[in-house]
């Protein structure tokens, strides 16, 4: 399976893709409405940022408690549960007069449920598609996330011109209903990957197994830290460019989409493996140009070129799946996603602290230097993570290789 047209001949993948698109559009639209409402109510930039971007911090709690639910529940049931909770949460946000503390509580509950079931979505890609299809499928999902974020924020901004935030929440609820319906009726029921009951003990036991295995630990660190520091660079676009920051965000989004398409669609497994290091270096190096305080056109080019490097996560995820036990794929990918989102939130906060004491362009360059240094320090640990290609079976299988599990 090498082309997107082949990918979308698989009906279940089309439905998973559509449900994800509707969910992302709902999330971005409601986040903008909530941010607008929070700022109008409090005037606090910190609370506004937390209302829009703080939800991933709930992933820390999810990773330490019931993350094993991604494998202990049948995938369709896990994703339907998350979609239903998100639908109810969106409906509560649409209630006028709901106290701000209650709105934040709703955000955290929805994010928590999503963090413990989200791994089921990424593992399901590997189950739905033929052997070797994970990278192409994940590439398509990444593209959908980028496009729907841009569309969701753009549409949300337009809607807020004509509607109040509560009415925009209503639009998001409708999108959540679409996501729930497509998930419930568009996916085939499968047995849970693990017969064990979801529990904090099991979650922590598997987390410890993964962390103790040198290859998995190295892959997680390489997936979380360098890219998180570069997201810190992006978090300073607004202080750097002011009202023109949208051009920088758009350039970065275009670069991410380009990288996902190139790596997921046009590179063979062997070529993806060879391009891991160049892509990881491409991620931080262009941002060193910020040492000279580039103008907007050059800064846009930097953001576009650097963001292509985010595509290095695709072959690294492929390696992670190849090393992990099939019965824990949901937790393995859920831990990756939660750790990535948490790292990005922490690095964005670090970026803000640096920009309070340094010129913004120096803070961006410093974060890029830290990312480059981290990449250099962590790269040797990837030497033993390359899987040997084998042919998988149609059942519980790895993406492209035999398993060297923890």
* pLDDT of amino acid 240: 87
The pLDDT-based confidence of 176 (bands split at 50, 70, 90) is very high
* pLDDT of amino acid 89: 96
Query: Distance (Å, rounded) from C-alpha 291 to C-alpha 229?
Result: 16
Which residue in the block uniquely carries the two structure tokens 């974060």?
367
Tokens of 376: 């250099």
* Top-confidence range, 186-190, 262-266, 269-273, 279-283: 279-283
Query: Distance (Å, rounded) from C-alpha 345 to C-alpha 318?
Result: 24
The pLDDT-based confidence of 316 (bands split at 50, 70, 90) is very high
Q: For residue 299, is pLDDT > 90?
A: yes
Mean pLDDT, residues 363-368: 96
The number of C-alpha atoms within 13 Å of 35 and in the hemisphere containing its C-beta is 19
Mean pLDDT, residues 41-65: 76
Would residue 242 be called left, alpha or beta, if left means φ above 0 and alpha means ψ between -120 and 50 degrees?
left
* pLDDT of amino acid 248: 86
Mean pLDDT, residues 162-170: 91
Query: Distance (Å, rounded) from C-alpha 258 to C-alpha 270?
Result: 20
Query: What predicted TM-score, i.e. pTM, was given to this entire model?
Result: 0.78
3-state secondary structure the chain: CCCHHHHCCCHHHHHHHHHHHHHHHHHHHHHHHHHHHHHHHHCCHHHHHHHHHCHHHHHHHHHHCCCCHHHHCCHHHHHHHHHHHHHHHHHHHCCCCCCHHHHHHHHHHHHHHHHHHHHHHHHHHHHHCCCCCHHHHHHHHHHHHHHHHHHHHHHHHHHHHHCCHHHHHHHHHHHHHHHHHHHHHHCCCCCCCCCCCCCHHHHHHHHHHHHHCHHHHHHHHHHHHHHHHHHHHHCCHHHHHHHHHHHHHHHHHHHHHHHHHHHHHHCCHHHHHHCHHHHHHHCCHHHHHHHHCCCHHHHHHHHHHHHHHHHHHHHHHHHHHHHCCHHHHHHHHHHHHHHHHHHHHHHHHHHHHHHHHCCHHHHHHHHHHHHHHHHHHHHHHHHHHCCCECCCCCCCCCCCECCCCC
Whether 358 contacts 338, CB under 8 Å: no
Q: For 236-271, how does the pLDDT look when each residue is reduced to its tens digit (9 = 90+)? A: 887 888 767 778 877 888 899 899 999 988 988 889
Mean pLDDT, residues 171-193: 94
Share of the chain above pLDDT 90, in %: 49
Query: Mean of the per-residue pLDDT values for the chain?
Result: 86
Whether 193 contacts 329, CB under 8 Å: yes
* Top-confidence range, 154-163, 210-219, 270-279, 281-290: 281-290
Tokens of 152: 């969701």
The pLDDT-based confidence of 49 (bands split at 50, 70, 90) is low
Return the minimum-mean-pLDDT range out of 15-29, 123-137, 354-368: 123-137
Distance, CA of 26 to chain centre: 16
With both helix axes pointing from N to C terminus, report the angle between 100-128 and 329-357 in degrees, rounded to the nearest 10.
Answer: 130
* pLDDT of amino acid 26: 92
């Amino acid at each position: 399976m090498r082309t997107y047209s082949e990918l979308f001949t698989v009906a279940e993948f089309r439905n998973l893709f559509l449900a994800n698109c509707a969910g992302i559009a709902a999330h971005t639209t409601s986040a903008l409405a909530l941010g607008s409402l929070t700022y109008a109510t409090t005037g606090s930039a910190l609370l506004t940022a937390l209302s829009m971007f703080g939800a991933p911090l709930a992933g820390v709690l999810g990773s330490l408690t019931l993350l094993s639910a991604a494998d202990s529940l049948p995938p369709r049931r896990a994703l339907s549960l998350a979609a239903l909770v998100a639908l109810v949460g969106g409906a509560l946000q649409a209630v006028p007069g709901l106290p701000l503390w209650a709105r934040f509580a709703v955000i955290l509950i929805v994010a928590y449920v999503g963090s413990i079931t989200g791994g089921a979505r990424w593992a399901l890609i590997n189950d739905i598609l033929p052997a070797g299809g994970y990278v192409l499928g994940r590439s398509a999902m990444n593209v959908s996330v980028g496009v729907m974020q841009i569309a969701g924020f753009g549409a949300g901004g337009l809607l807020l011109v004509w509607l109040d935030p509560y009415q925009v929440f209503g639009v998001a609820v409708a999108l959540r209903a679409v996501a729930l319906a497509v998930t419930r009726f568009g996916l085939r029921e499968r047995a849970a990957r693990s017969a064990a009951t979801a529990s904090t003990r099991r979650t922590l036991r598997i987390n410890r197994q993964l962390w103790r295995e040198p290859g998995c630990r190295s892959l997680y660190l390489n997936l979380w830290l360098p890219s998180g520091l570069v997201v810190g660079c992006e978090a300073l676009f607004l202080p750097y460019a002011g009202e023109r920051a949208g051009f920088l965000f758009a350039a970065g989004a275009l670069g991410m989409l380009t990288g996902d398409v190139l790596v997921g669609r046009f590179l063979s497994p062997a070529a993806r493996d060879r391009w891991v290091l160049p892509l990881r270096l491409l991620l931080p190096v262009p941002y060193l140009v910020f040492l000279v305080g580039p103008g907007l056109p050059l800064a846009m080019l930097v953001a576009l070129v650097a963001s292509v490097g985010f595509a290095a996560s695709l072959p690294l995820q492929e390696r992670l799946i190849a090393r992990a036990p099939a019965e824990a794929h949901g937790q393995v990918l859920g831990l990756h996603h939660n750790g990535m989102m948490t790292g990005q939130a922490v690095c964005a906060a670090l970026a803000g602290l640096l920009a309070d004491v340094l010129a913004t362009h120096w803070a961006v360059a410093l974060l890029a230097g830290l990312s480059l240094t981290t990449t250099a320090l962590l790269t040797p640990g990837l030497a033993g993570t390359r899987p040997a290609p084998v042919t998988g079976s149609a059942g519980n299988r790895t993406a492209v290789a035999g398993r060297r599990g923890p």
